[in-house]
Amino acid sequence: MRATYIYGAGDVRVITAPDPKLIQGTDAIVRITRACVCGSDLHPFHSMPDDADARPIGHEFIGVVEETGQDVSTLAVGDFVIAPFAYSDGTCEFCLEGLQTSCIHGGYWGNGEITGGQAEAVRVPYADGTLVTVQGTVDESQYAGLLTLSDVYATGWHAAYKARVAPGQTVTVIGDGAVGLLAVLSAKQMGADRIILMGRHKSRTDLGIQFGATDVVAERGEEGIEKVRGLTGGTGSHAVLEAVGFMPAYEQALGVVRAGGVISRVGVPQYEEAPVGRRSLFGKNVTLTGGVAPARAYIEQLLPAVLDGTVNPGLVFDQTVKLEQTPDGYTAMDERTALKVMVDPT
């Protein structure tokens, strides 16, 4: 089959790789109908060492079950499924607590013998615990919305959920990428009264307004902090959803959160040390939360509104490429000529 591999910084290739085969009785083979490039894929695209081993890449996909192992009981050949960005057994103590990304037997696509999601097919370990079946006929027009449930919509939801967003609150979202925009949508769904989106790209912030943002702040740093504080009467936001992952975004979050508020980080942190002391968090009783989103825990909850059109998270996709053009998709997202690129391997 054809699959996407990363060889080093800026070096993404589509190569011929072995077809996935069942290994364990709990496995399934999924023929991918759509995948995509994630903002987090750009981190190795920027920084992977040249001497590192090439590896498969991609962790968001939807598709059709092509084959199942003898121990798979909840899936059948022909089922249309959504794969969260991490696989999990669904039975360990962490899975039962809704934290599938910490599954004792789980892992991530593109590691070890597991193919990445930007490919024609994938072997899915623990298929019963990992995959979510979409009932009924799935129209191609629904692919984009369903694909967001694999990661970016679930991650935006996780940001708002961990921040305990509630009706009547003011929420600031830092970052106008796909996750940030879907954090706006999630905060709106949870009843936030005012949603301030911090972002500089008008085409993206316009989509944020469509998703529910009431204000847009294009300024960064101290100027951006002062602008948000001005919008909130000087007190700051009840919840800050940080969807970038770089230190300046965290520093902005510290500057705009109100006393007693919550900072929820879902942008993958590109730093190990950050202010958490008396002046930054402790003295203001600020809670710091967030983390890797257990997408599997949220998919079934979010799915109905996507299927019936109540929400349209698939609007974050503004470019589609065939599998062979996946490297072009990385370039487009890296150069910010695309918000989020869908990959069509069919």
Query: CATH number, domain at 31?
Result: 3.90.180.10
In terms of domains, do 121 and 184 share one?
no
Q: What is the pLDDT of residue 50?
A: 84
Buried b (16+ CB within 10 A) or exposed e, 311-339: bebbbbbbbbbebeebbbbbbbbbeeebb
Quick one: tokens of 98?
Answer: 């809704």
Chain-centre distance for alpha carbon 196: 20
Q: What is the pLDDT of residue 111?
A: 86
Q: What is the pLDDT of residue 252?
A: 97
CATH number for the domain including 175? 3.40.50.720
In terms of domains, do 112 and 247 share one?
no
Q: What is the pLDDT of residue 18?
A: 94
In terms of domains, do 174 and 99 share one?
no
In terms of domains, do 27 and 132 share one?
yes
Last residue of one domain, picked from the residues 245, 271, 290: 290
In terms of domains, do 230 and 330 share one?
no
Q: What is the pLDDT of residue 35?
A: 98
In terms of domains, do 211 and 275 share one?
yes
Report residues of the chain scoring pLDDT below 50. none
Q: What is the pLDDT of residue 112?
A: 76
In terms of domains, do 202 and 302 share one?
no
Q: What is the pLDDT of residue 158?
A: 98
In terms of domains, do 144 and 119 share one?
yes
In terms of domains, do 164 and 279 share one?
yes
* Residues 6+ positions from 41 with CB-CB distance below 8 Å: 57, 58, 59, 330
Percent residues over pLDDT 90 in the chain: 95
In terms of domains, do 310 and 271 share one?
no
Last residue of one domain, picked from the residues 269, 290, 311: 290
Please give the mean pLDDT across all residues of the chain: 97
Q: For 215-247, what is each residue's pLDDT tens digit?
A: 999 999 999 999 999 999 999 999 999 999 999
In terms of domains, do 167 and 234 share one?
yes
Distance (Å, rounded) from C-alpha 167 to C-alpha 259? 18
Chain-centre distance for alpha carbon 302: 14
Last residue of one domain, picked from the residues 268, 290, 312: 290
- The total number of structural domains that make up the chain: 2
In terms of domains, do 132 and 20 share one?
yes
196: domain range?
156-290
Q: What is the pLDDT of residue 255?
A: 97
